[in-house]
Amino acid sequence: MNTSPHISDFRERIVCGRRKITRSFILGFVNRMYEHIEKIKPSFFEATTAMAFDYFRHCGIVAAVIETGLGGRLDSTNVVDPVVSVITGIAVDHVHYLGNTIEGIAGEKAGIIKKGKPVVIGKLPSEARKVILEKAIKEGSEFKDSWKNVSGKILERSDRGFKFSLGENKVKYTFPEIGDFQLINIKTAYSVLKIFCEKQEVPFESEIFIRALKNISRNSQLHGRFELVSRNPKIVIDVSHNLEAIKNLKRILSIFVTRNSMLSWE
């Protein structure tokens, strides 16, 4: 997995399984590539992306999740030829680089769509959805709107997560993270994994997907994303930095701090 930014340790950006990239590999990579770095003058993110790819090769990974830095069209991560492209959400952000309209930003994000390779979207504004769909049609790429194509809804909420349904069955599942937007993420991941398994010709088992969701809290290393650092008193750290993220944070806090309407479980 390749994610950014890091919170307390650069190694959070590059993870294989649950293991962060080692300090010795970072030093070795910089020493080996120093001459090229000095000559090419890549950005910090470009050099980090190259390091991530080299580390994934070193680890012999079978599949990787690569997160773009800014936009997508001109992003250094866009050198990959993906099994499936994913656009989780679009909001006005990084306007100096991506433009100050949803349509313009969507156009930059759509740059990760490759010819003939499927693309999955989360719950997007209608104007962004239109831009992504047009790009998918132009590239001959299968288009999947996970929010519309995957059924499911939140049934109960608490300060420890929420219970939800997914797909056509009536089973009630538990997700140990707060925030209604997490259901969007779950549906998106569900759609992506189904397509990935189909393309790799391996069976997709929804129950394994659900079991992975149940373990996500103890396995997650995404610090600063509504990270609960204390329950008494309640202290949360969050890195929301655009309007849509702040709105999500406000909704989460309304659930987290309200006691009277709370449904809690262990």
pLDDT, tens digit, for every residue of 24-82?
999 999 999 999 999 999 999 999 999 999 999 999 999 999 988 877 888 999 999 99
> DSSP states of 62-110 as a string?
S---B--SSSSTT-GGGGS--SSEEE----S--HHHH-SSHHHHHHHHG
More confident residue, 144 or 157: 144
User: Which residue in 77, 122, 120, 70 sits closest to 99, CA to CA?
Assistant: 70
Query: Long-range contacts for 54-63 (Cβ within 8 Å, ≥24 apart)?
Result: 54/29, 55/14, 55/16, 55/21, 55/25, 55/29, 56/2, 56/16, 58/25, 59/16, 61/16, 63/196, 63/200
Residue 131's pLDDT is what? 95
**3-class secondary-structure state, position 161:** strand
Which contiguous run of DSSP H or E holds residue 234? strand 234-237
- pLDDT tops 60 at residue 14: yes
pLDDT tens-digit map of 204-232 = 988 889 888 877 655 554 677 777 788 78
pTM to 2 decimal places: 0.83
Kindly tell me if the per-residue pLDDT of 263 is higher than 70: no
CB 166 within 8 A of CB 152: yes
Kindly list the domain boundaries of the chain, sorted by start residue. Answer: 150-266
Q: Tens of pLDDT along 127-142?
A: 999 999 999 999 999 9
